[in-house]
Chain A
């Protein structure tokens, strides 16, 4: 974090003097300051004393108890991560601003879900838009130990996270008539499409499908689709096709195995990711990640508060634990990530240790204990159980 901010401040000084020769000058300083669309080489995350600091936002509902389990597990596995807990209790702007400042400072966060049904500040002030976490990535994969109606699902969903229908721009111009604005911009559409294709290439995926409703929203989704096509032209090794959102959801419930990587605007992403989460076993199993250029926030994919099952020790910790593994991967602590992920998946495949949402009878703490035992039996030095 320190290195990149130093480069940025240097570039602010250089820019007025050198103008267009910014890139060549900055190279002298050992980092490449990129043009607007190229991915900058991010320096490794800061480790002070060899330990990372991660912002933790407990949220409401099942968030606090699940995040406690994550901390318990990290402490047990001696993961070099410290959590800076920021509570967003009331729905005032101050709390949210504190959380955003903490994330800016640490660069990474793990969060539970805030209850948004009460009168809350608009989405435009939420962490996703303020920190420009433009890509929400969800990987839905059928797990062998979980019994579902469909098998062999392996879909990555990349959802634009900052604009679209979630712009929170609404007004009541005439009494009884409300206009909600859905914003689609060329910049953001190109950016998310670029992200999708780059991710597909990194993960060795063969096909990207854009989901849209351009037959009705011709300008808006038409622009999105056009941007995806432009980006697709630069990746000839990856097949690209487009599908209308209603047909997509129908295909998802009959033949989900046909989908590989999907990219879409905000609202369709919300619906499609929930459908896919339901197909692979429910909201307790799928982790989600929100990536921006400089920050990353990890959470459960379907963003449920879980108010009705809070504090009853029956929530499924899998989604949150897998989200913490994604966070460890982001911090380049791959060994720890693989260790915890393997333990979680092994525990999932022992059927009697399922929680209620996937048809078992285990409690949250039993599942976490089993995961810890699994880690201990694999060998590396851990704290006492």
Chain B
């Protein structure tokens, strides 16, 4: 075994009692949502300082993203918006988001899709945790055109990473008291690649007798998800299937504006919106849904062991979402982003703890 079992990590650094978190605004709706997060944190007197690092998506040099990576290495934690990938740049230009994830080895992407009571959706009682391998698979960015007009894309699956992500999944399932882990694969077609992934999951499952393990092919999984999503509990899968399945689940619980996502590595953690949308078309229109980003910031606070603040903000966000008239346009309402944030702040103020003036 080449990786360490998770050692109990020391509590996050607090200089003068305050944490420093890297903030990467990104493009589209990222900057405005993250400024709302800072506004809310300042209002609630959360002991977190943000170190803002801008990554310019139009530049081809890697300096910007390297600065961001250095900042995250220094601080250990980050909150980010999605950085746009320009399609017109040459193929050697790797997506900045992908580069960040692979450089920091953020191997587990965790997304918790839960039906919220105030949001009207076609399916009810969904509670799925999706754990997606975040560094390899189809996202290896290894492509070449050996013969003109014929492109080969390499999908890499390794034993080490598959064991690692499976172990993460089972450990998380045990921590959260979950009963079942489902591995999603396409091993009937990609028998070596996904076969290796599946085998690793089975090996890890043998060490967790209290948690049931089963496997499902990705096409059947997506079909089951749209007809009976309540059957799923925890799901673990390689990178591309994780992308598709997490977007399907996000759509089922109400859309990209509601679900936060977290990327965990051995030493670092980066939080963002679950479905990683840039939201270019709705940028600066004050209509974006801040819920996903705010819940991501609550995940950040939980990671920093500031549980009281996390619970307080999360409770206020959920309470606001369940008051139906304060939905933003993506949920069918007419509220603006600032209306929702104001309402959350009022909710926090009314529950007692010392806050600044609104």
User: How many Å lie between the Cα of A282 and that of B225 in the bound state?
Assistant: 11
Minimum C-beta distance from A115 to chain B (A): 9
Interface centre among B87, B95, B98 (most CB of A within 10 A): B87
User: How many Å lie between the Cα of A32 and that of B219 in the bound state?
Assistant: 41
B interface: dominant SS = mixed
- Residue A275 lies at the interface, judged by CB distance under 8 Å to chain B: yes
Pair B256/A250 contact, Cβ less than 8 Å: yes
Task: Classify chain A's interface size.
Answer: 35 or more
B19-33 interface bits toward A, Cβ cutoff 8 Å, 1 = contact, 0 = none: 000000000000000
Q: List CB contacts (< 8 Å) of B153-204 with chain A.
A: 153-160, 186-193, 196
Contacts of A186 in B (CB 8 A): 148-150
Contacts of A271 in B (CB 8 A): 218-219, 222, 244
Contacts of B355 in A (CB 8 A): none
A158-180 interface bits toward B, Cβ cutoff 8 Å, 1 = contact, 0 = none: 00000001101011100111111
- Residue A277 lies at the interface, judged by CB distance under 8 Å to chain B: yes
User: How many Å lie between the Cα of A222 and that of B157 in the bound state?
Assistant: 23
Pair B159/A250 contact, Cβ less than 8 Å: no
Closest to B159 in A: A176
Pair A247/B91 contact, Cβ less than 8 Å: no
- Residue B138 lies at the interface, judged by CB distance under 8 Å to chain A: yes
Q: List CB contacts (< 8 Å) of A169-220 with chain B.
A: 170-172, 175-187, 213-220
B131-164 interface bits toward A, Cβ cutoff 8 Å, 1 = contact, 0 = none: 0000000110101110011111111111110000
User: How many Å lie between the Cα of A182 and that of B150 in the bound state?
Assistant: 10
- Residue A374 lies at the interface, judged by CB distance under 8 Å to chain B: no
- Residue A116 lies at the interface, judged by CB distance under 8 Å to chain B: yes
- With contacts A150-B122, A186-B149, A246-B247 known, is A278 near B155, CB below 8 A? no
Pair A216/B139 contact, Cβ less than 8 Å: yes
- With contacts A165-B189, A180-B190, A249-B248 known, is A217 near B149, CB below 8 A? no
- Residue B251 lies at the interface, judged by CB distance under 8 Å to chain A: yes
Interface centre among A179, A180, A271 (most CB of B within 10 A): A180
Interface centre among B123, B189, B251 (most CB of A within 10 A): B189
User: How many Å lie between the Cα of A257 and that of B223 in the bound state?
Assistant: 17
User: How many Å lie between the Cα of A171 and that of B91 in the bound state?
Assistant: 25
Contacts of B103 in A (CB 8 A): none
Pair A185/B222 contact, Cβ less than 8 Å: no
Contacts of B93 in A (CB 8 A): 218
- Residue B328 lies at the interface, judged by CB distance under 8 Å to chain A: no
Minimum C-beta distance from A222 to chain B (A): 7
Binding site for B on A (CB under 8 A): 116-117, 120, 123, 149-150, 165-166, 168, 170-172, 175-187, 213-220, 222-223, 245-247, 249-254, 267, 270-271, 273-275, 277-279, 282-283, 302, 304
10 contacts between A and B (CB under 8 A): A165-B155, A177-B158, A181-B154, A184-B150, A252-B251, A270-B218, A271-B219, A274-B219, A278-B224, A302-B219
